[in-house]
């Protein structure tokens, strides 16, 4: 009887403990589940603000290239400050059409019933140190020049007289002379005449006078020479800036 009463008392005393343990386990599992749910939300990547820029990382070679380009831009800007284009001289017969990014400049004018257009190219600069390798018989070997294409037309749709020239200091050399017919197909090969140097000397002089009357003369081309040198400097600087922009993107 004593042993039985002891068992009953032990059972009655353990009942509250078991209840507390069950409640504790329930609270523990609930806490674990809640913690897991919170951890799932905390592991999600926060959305970036659109105001935060995406950093751009450059390789060492890109950084080195950008430094060299910056140095070249600075040098080009200093040169550009020194080589300012002179004002268009009084009596300059042409209208200048200069579009940035192009290596040519277009001149236009009307002379009597003719429309004259001149395409001026970048100058062919000559370094004086290279004179030893040039032909001494060539009087223009050590002189810089600007290539010109002079077109003279009379009315729309009519033939065009086209001169290919090289303008040297105080002299204009005609290299080619062609009469172009706009109606001629590109598949057809038109006769372009002999080389200009093979023409009769009097005929050559007459065509030089022909161009001079229409404004193609040394006073015009000497100004254009300086103008195109400065344009070359400006275009080179803009070209460097485009290179820098491309590397930075």
Query: How are strands ordered across the β-sheet holding 104-111?
Result: 95-97, 104-111, 114-121, 146-153, 160-168, 171-180
Domain membership of residue 67 (yes or no) is: no
Model confidence pLDDT, tens digit, residues 222-240:
999 999 999 999 899 999 9
Same domain? 86 vs 180: yes
Range of the domain at 206: 77-240
Same domain? 201 vs 144: yes
Same domain? 46 vs 132: no
Same domain? 12 vs 89: no
- pLDDT for 34 equals 47
- pLDDT for 189 equals 77
Enter the DSSP assignment of 99: -
Which domain CATH number covers 169? 3.10.280.10
The total number of structural domains that make up the chain: 2
Model confidence pLDDT, tens digit, residues 110-146:
999 999 999 999 998 876 555 455 554 467 777 899 9
CA distance 192 to 177: 8
Question: 3: part of which helix (H) or strand (E)?
Answer: helix 2-42
Same domain? 44 vs 137: no
- How many other CB atoms are there within 10 angstroms of residue 123's CB atom? 19
**Tokens matching residue 174:** 């005609």
CA distance 100 to 235: 7
Same domain? 39 vs 141: no
Same domain? 215 vs 163: yes
pTM as predicted = 0.69
Is residue 176 within 8 A of residue 163, CB to CB? The reply is yes
């Amino acid at each position: 009887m004593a042993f039985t009463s002891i068992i009953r008392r032990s059972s009655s005393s353990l009942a509250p403990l078991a209840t507390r343990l069950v409640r504790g386990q329930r609270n523990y599992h609930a806490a674990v589940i809640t913690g897991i749910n919170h951890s799932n939300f905390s592991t999600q990547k926060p959305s970036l603000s659109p105001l935060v820029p995406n950093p751009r990382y450059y390789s060492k070679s890109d950084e080195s290239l950008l430094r060299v380009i910056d140095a070249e831009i600075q040098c080009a800007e200093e040169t550009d400050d020194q080589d300012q284009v002179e004002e268009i001289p009084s009596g300059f017969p042409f209208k200048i059409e200069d579009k940035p990014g192009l290596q040519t400049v277009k001149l236009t004018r009307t002379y009597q019933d003719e429309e004259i257009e001149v395409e001026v190219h970048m100058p062919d600069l000559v370094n004086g140190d290279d004179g030893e390798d040039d032909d001494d018989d060539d009087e223009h070997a050590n002189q810089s020049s600007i290539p010109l294409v002079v077109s003279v037309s009379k009315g729309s749709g009519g033939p065009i007289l086209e001169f290919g020239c090289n303008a040297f200091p105080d002299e204009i050399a005609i290299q080619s002379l062609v009469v172009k017919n706009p109606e001629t197909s590109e598949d057809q090969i038109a006769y372009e005449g002999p080389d200009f140097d093979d023409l009769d000397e009097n005929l050559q002089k007459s065509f030089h006078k022909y161009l001079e009357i229409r404004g193609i003369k040394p006073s015009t081309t000497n100004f254009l020479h300086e103008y195109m040198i400065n344009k070359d400097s400006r275009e080179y600087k803009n070209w460097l800036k485009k290179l820098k922009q491309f590397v930075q993107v």
